[in-house]
């Protein structure tokens, strides 16, 4: 998968700490647990093809879990249906 953006960002300020290259994707997921001040922001054309703007991966230090947040690219009129839909994994 070719990334159009892959950034390590500061959770508190949302500033980019560093732009990463594709080799960063080989880092283990626990990278964000070990660097809890950071989150990873990723964009890819393949995400856009799946109607997603981007993906953010972070470690939630309160609940001690990894989280992935997806920015969905949907029309505004779908918001009501989404608010009433619950996804269980």
Q: What is the pLDDT of residues 17-37, one digit of tens each?
A: 999 998 999 999 999 999 999
Alpha-carbon distance 71 to 81, whole Å?
Answer: 16
**Neighbour count for residue 85 (Cβ, 10 Å):** 8
Q: What is the pTM of this model?
A: 0.79
Alpha-carbon distance 29 to 58, whole Å?
Answer: 9
Query: Is 90 exceeded by the pLDDT of residue 9?
Result: yes
User: Tens of pLDDT along 44-71?
Assistant: 999 988 888 899 999 998 999 999 998 8
Alpha-carbon distance 42 to 68, whole Å?
Answer: 11
Instruction: Judge contact between 58 and 11, C-beta under 8 A.
Output: yes
């Amino acid at each position: 998968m070719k990334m159009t953006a892959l950034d390590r960002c500061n959770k508190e300020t949302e500033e980019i700490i560093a732009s990463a290259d594709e080799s960063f994707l080989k880092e283990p997921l626990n990278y964000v647990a070990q660097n809890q001040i950071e989150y990873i922001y990723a964009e890819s054309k393949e995400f856009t093809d799946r109607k997603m703007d981007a993906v953010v991966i972070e470690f939630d230090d309160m609940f001690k879990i990894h989280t992935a947040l997806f920015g969905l690219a949907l029309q505004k009129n779908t918001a009501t249906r989404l608010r009433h839909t619950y996804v269980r994994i």
